[in-house]
Amino acid sequence: MSTPGRPASSRHLLGVWIRSLLWTFAESVVAILLAVVLGGIGIFLFSGLLPNHSAFDLGLPIAAYGALWSGALGYPNGVGSTLSYATPLILAGLGVGLGFKAGLFNIGGRGQFLMGAIGAMAVVTLFGQSLPGLATIVLALAVAAIFGGFAGFIPGVLKATSGAHEVVTTIMLNYVFVFATYWAISGPLRLPHSPQPITVDVGTRASALGTINILGWNLLGRDAHWGVLLAVLGIPLLWFLLYRTTLGFEIRAAGANSDAARYAGMKTRQLVVLTMSMAGALCGLAGGTTLLGVVHQIAPGYDTTIGFDAITVALLGRSNPIGIALAGLLLGGMRAGAQSMQISPGVPGELVDALQAVILLFLVINLLRRWRAMRHVDAPTVAPAEPYGLGAVPAEVSE
Amino acid sequence: MTGEAASIPALEMRGITKRYPGVVANDHIDLDVRRGEIHALLGENGAGKTTLMNILYGLARPNEGQILLDGQTVEIAGPSDAIGRGISMVHQHFMLVPVLSVAENVVLGAETMANGVFLDTREANKRIAEFAARFGFALDPEAKVGTLSVGQQQRVEILKALYRDARILVLDEPTAVLTPQETEEIFALLRKLADDGRSIIFISHKLYEVLAVADRITVIRRGRVIGERKPGETSEAELAELMVGRAVELTVDRGESHAGAPMLQVEGLRVGDDRHEAVPNATFEIRAGEILGIAGVAGNGQDELIEALIGLRKPSAGKVRLGDLDVTGFSPRAMNEAGVGYVPGDRHRFGLILAFPVFDNLILTSYYRAPFARGSLRQDSAVLESADAQIEKFDIRVPSSTVATSTLSGGNQQKVIVAREFDRPLKLLVLDQPTRGLDVGSIEFIHRQIIAKRDAGTAVLLVSAELDEVMEISDRIAVMYRGRIVAEMDGRTADKSQVGLLMATGGDARPEEARA
């Protein structure tokens, strides 16, 4: 971007961009490294408890991480599995991150995801036999986004009209949508003549539809599906929305200081509704792609932890689309590698949950430090300016 | 106060140096404060006064230098350590809990318990009454702090310090929010506290106040002590020059107003809800090329009046006309597009997005218009070009338009708002305390810009709790009391004490209300 003839400030932006990039992700990288070290110490300390391992086995952490790595990346099935896990994490992470940018804490990812899955399922149930395969997929994903968007729209409207806090309303609505899923599979979406409440299998329909199994992407093994394209598209689109459009400017302004945004003539209430709807739509797409690409069927007890995983992804990625993509790939890879780690050195796959929790913990601690830094007079100098969405620019001191 | 003991200063700071990356906030500062002395610390914003006081209060560690209390070197570990050593600070923004009583606020953090369980406020009540009698002010220990006036709240802060046996009392810009009468009262109180043998450090950038109240004045500029003066041996002009580093015009010549046709006409405006009618009935006009100053103690309906004028509040009755256009009930954006500029009173909360770079704050109200947007796409090269031009034009001291606005000094932050709001043709300019908390250099600059805007034919509404500002640049002055305009007068001939009295009491000038 630094070409001669541009105004001086434009050239300057490149330096700002790079500096802010480093600053933005430094904390995340530190959190990940600390989690890996702590996890390694944990494996070392408890290695005696595992069958076929001696106590305090120094080689075990290395073997476990090696298996995790190769399980996530080592062979085509591993990469496919990583992408498959990463797809909903990235999509829902973008949804939560968009909320963060607007100053909204969307904990409704779980409900929005489920609504997205129901929406996609409804399309397959209703139109799976009458529409061509590709049209079914496109329509199913569009309806997934609409259903998820509606699940985000409700808390948005509640906040805009009554001031009800989205943390409270999204958590409460999660239960509504969990039970709505129950109702849907035992009522309108129930497989006819089935002894139990369960939906049609997308795969069974797929054979009739022909092309729906395009979502099984054989190049990358059995797990990868075309849904990853949506995540890949969503990343630059959200970045573009936030940093290149006036709407994105309004969203970020309302998130950073909604009073100032309102005084500057922005319609902050409408922005709340719009942002929550868009966030819900992204989480709904996570649900839709997971249904079509991975689970194929909604059975009793179908649920997801995506709501909280996506919060980790958004925090780890600093609410920045590129960061969210990297964070989604990391956590997706950890999920994918967990199985092979469990098989070969025999370290329980739950280690991955522990790592994720420790990462989140360190992230939150760092957030606290930043919060203190902003309040504390002596704290030098990290001001969260973010000209191009890459977080804090190390700043000159004010006084 | 003579003899050996008196010659040892109560506080001595020697060679205090505090460096932050890229900046030396304090550069070998020496300061000594004697017992029973009011010592003023004078300097522009960003000069290093606050850093120095934070070091004294244990909030920051100096890189070099020593602090001596009564001749003994001490290390101050933190605020509680400072308080334990008899150093107390009264912040510009009060640290009070509005729903608690005066006594409860005073003991907060230093509570004594009855039977080890219940809060014992009797002891506090007794001591508050003692202090009040000794220093001659009245405060009901049972009153809820939220119901007190700003001046009274400040006394609660001072009481808190006294309750903790403060020997050295630091007051950071204590008069910023007070009426002239309250200011005089606080000065009298400070004098009594000094006569009681306490030392007072009075941080200010208001020259006449410093001359009125201090025994000695230390001037700081860019982290260094520039000079020390006694009030009798110096003048406002000399102090200003020391402070800024060049000769400063303390009062900008407002010149002649060539007022034209009425630009803003407000008729029977009513603002507020059923519970609280903040502005019952306002009628006034401002002509093109005229500055109307509204004087009033904060909270007398000025905020609501302003919010109605810039579109943030829908008036419940009345009419607002801007030139030939009826703008009653317009949205903030419609007002902005109709040619209304606005500088909010609380720039951090309402005027700026501190986390955003300077260039984004410069387009906060115009980001959606050409040339900053084409359709719904941002045009960053136009934004940056315009930012560079405005930084130059409005003398905003900033290394680049891409730094976070939070890193700018208060004066430069305000210049960002002024650049944004002033740099286009305006019909009406609404200014809410436009120079609050700014240094003399920035005040001079902003006053010049306001007058230039007036001379270009803009109608200017200036609301300020700082009477001096209203007196200095207004062509006409209206006094607001309990939501009503109780008096109007010529800005050049108005008498300060009379305006102050009207602000405080509303006066008997009821008939004037109807005139306007």
Average pLDDT over residues A49-72: 86
Higher pLDDT, A10 or A277: A277
pLDDT in tens, A112-126: 999 999 999 999 999
Contact status, residue B242 vs residue B226, Cβ threshold 8 Å: yes
Helices (H), B379-475: 380-393, 410-422, 440-455, 467-473
Identify which of B21, B201, B144, B166 has the alpha carbon closest to the alpha carbon of residue B82.
B166
**Rounded to the nearest 5 degrees, what angle is found at the Cα of B131, between the Cα atoms of B126 and B136?**
130
Closest CA to A177 of A200, A140, A138, A150: A150
pLDDT: is B110 or A383 the higher one? B110
Q: How far is the alpha carbon of B358 from chain A, nearest alpha carbon, in Å?
A: 9
DSSP states of A323-337: HHHHHHHHHHHHHHH
Residue among A3, A9, A24 with most chain B CBs within 10 A, to mutate: A9
- Whether A323 is in a domain gets the answer yes
**Partner-chain contact B356 A9, CB within 8 Å:** no
What is the pLDDT, as a whole number, of residue B117?
66
The DSSP H or E segment spanning B227 is: strand B224-229
Question: Does a structural domain hold residue A1?
Answer: no
Q: Is residue A148 part of a domain?
A: yes
Q: Is position A2 within any domain?
A: no
Q: Which residue of chain B has the CA closest to A398?
A: B407
Residues 235-254 of A with CB under 8 A from B: 243-247, 249-250, 252-253
Low-confidence ranges of chain B (pLDDT < 70): 1-6, 21-22, 111-118, 177, 250, 273-275, 508-516
What does the alpha-carbon distance between residue B58 and residue B77 come to, in Å, rounded to a whole number?
5
pLDDT of A20 higher than 50 = yes
- What does chain B come to in residues? 516
Is B462 exposed, middle or buried (CB count within 10 Å of its CB: 0-12, 13-18, 19+)?
A: buried
Number of domains chain A is built from: 1
So what's the pLDDT on residue A206? 46
- Chain B residues in contact with A383 by the CB 8 A cut-off are 354-355, 403-404, 406-407
Q: Please tell me if residue A222 touches chain B, with a CB cutoff of 8 Å.
A: no
pLDDT in tens, A27-41: 888 889 989 999 999
- Could you give the 3-state DSSP secondary structure of residue B331? coil
* CA distance to partner chain B, nearest, from residue A122 (Å): 35
- Mean predicted confidence (pLDDT) in A130-149: 90
> Would you state the pLDDT for residue A58?
85
Is A3 domain-assigned? Answer: no
What strand order describes the sheet that includes B72-74? B23-33, B11-20, B64-69, B72-74
CA torsion through residues B381, B385, B386, B391, sign: positive
B350/A263 touch (CB, cutoff 8 Å), yes or no:
yes
Rounded (10°) angle between helices A166-186 and A109-127: 30
pLDDT digits (tens, 9 = 90+) for B260-277: 899 999 999 999 866 678
Alpha-carbon distance A259 to nearest alpha carbon in chain B (angstroms):
5
Whether A248 shows a pLDDT value over 60: the answer reads yes
**Region for B272 from its dihedrals, namely left if φ exceeds 0, alpha if ψ lies in -120 to 50, beta otherwise:** left
- Which residues from chain A sit within 8 angstroms of residue B307, using beta carbons? none
**B394, B418 Cβ separation under 8 angstroms:** yes
Q: What is the mean pLDDT of chain A?
A: 83
C-alpha distances out from residue A253 to A268, B107, B480, Å: 9, 40, 34
As a whole number of angstroms, the distance between CA A159 and CA B147 comes to 31
Q: A365: pLDDT confidence band, cut at 50, 70 and 90?
A: confident
A13 to chain B, any CB pair closer than 8 A? The answer is: yes
Pick from B21, B331, B402: which is nearest to A397 by CB?
A: B21
**What's the rounded mean pLDDT across residues A85-95?**
96
DSSP, res A151:
H
By 3-state DSSP, what share of chain B in percent is helix, strand and coil, each rounded to 5?
35, 25, 40
Q: CA-to-CA distance for A216 and B225, rounded, in angstroms?
A: 74
Q: How high is the pLDDT of residue B503?
A: 84
pLDDT at A12 over 80: no
ipTM over 0.90: no
- Residue for token digits 């500002």? B469
Phi, psi angle pair for B227, to nearest 5°: -175, 165
Provide φ and ψ at B463, rounded to 5°.
Answer: -110, 130
Contact A314, A279 (CB under 8 A): no
Greatest mean pLDDT among A73-82, A257-266, B155-164 lies in A257-266
To the nearest whole Å, the CA of A106 is away from the closest chain B CA by 22
Residue B46 region, left (φ>0) first, then alpha (ψ -120 to 50), else beta? left
SS3 B269: strand
Report the pLDDT value the prediction gives residue A367, as an integer from 0 to 100. 62
Listed in sequence order, the residues at least 6 apart from B171 whose beta carbon sits closer than 8 Å to its beta carbon are B89, B90, B190, B200, B201, B202, B203
Q: What is the pLDDT of residue B206?
A: 79
Spatial distance between the Cα atoms of B453 and B425, rounded to a whole number of angstroms: 9
Which residue stretches of B110-265 are H helix? 122-135, 150-163, 180-195, 207-213, 236-244
| Residue A82 falls inside a structural domain | yes
- Please compute the mean of the pLDDT values over residues A265-286 and round it to a whole number: 97
Cβ of B356 and A256 within 8 Å? yes
pLDDT at A2 over 60: no
A297's tokens:
């069927």
Q: Is the separation of the CB atoms in B330 and B314 below 8 Å?
A: no
CA nearest neighbour of A47 among A64, A68, A30: A64
Task: Say whether B356 and A385 touch across the interface (CB within 8 A).
Answer: yes
Give the residue from A3, A239, A263, A267 with the most B CB atoms within 10 Å of its CB, the best one to mutate. Answer: A263
Closest CA to B90 of B151, B48, B26, B31: B151
Q: What is the mean pLDDT of residues A55-68?
A: 88
Nearest residue of B to residue A376, measured between CA atoms: B59
Contact residues, chain B, for A399 at CB < 8 Å: 25, 45-46, 48, 50-51, 409
Separation of first and last alpha carbons in chain A: 33
How far does CA B489 lie from the centroid of its chain?
Answer: 25
CA of B404 vs chain A CAs: smallest distance (Å): 4
End-to-end CA distance of chain B: 57
Chain B residues closer than 8 Å to A376 by CB: 59
Domain-embedded: residue A126: yes
Q: Is the peptide bond before B511 cis (omega within 30 degrees of 0)?
A: no
Contact B22 A265 (CB under 8 A): no
- Check residue A11 and give its pLDDT: 53
The owner of tokens 């903040």 is B278
- Which residue range forms the structural domain that includes residue A64? 8-398
User: For residue A245, what is the DSSP state?
Assistant: B
Nearest of A392, A21, A9 to residue B399 by alpha carbon: A9
Give pLDDT tens digits for B371-416.
999 999 999 999 999 999 999 999 898 888 888 898 888 888 999 9
- What's the pLDDT score for residue A221? 61
Q: Is residue A337 one of the residues assigned to a domain? A: yes
The length of chain A in residues reads 399
pLDDT of residue B6: 54
Which CATH number is A215's domain given?
1.10.3470
> Is the pLDDT reported for residue A1 higher than 50?
no
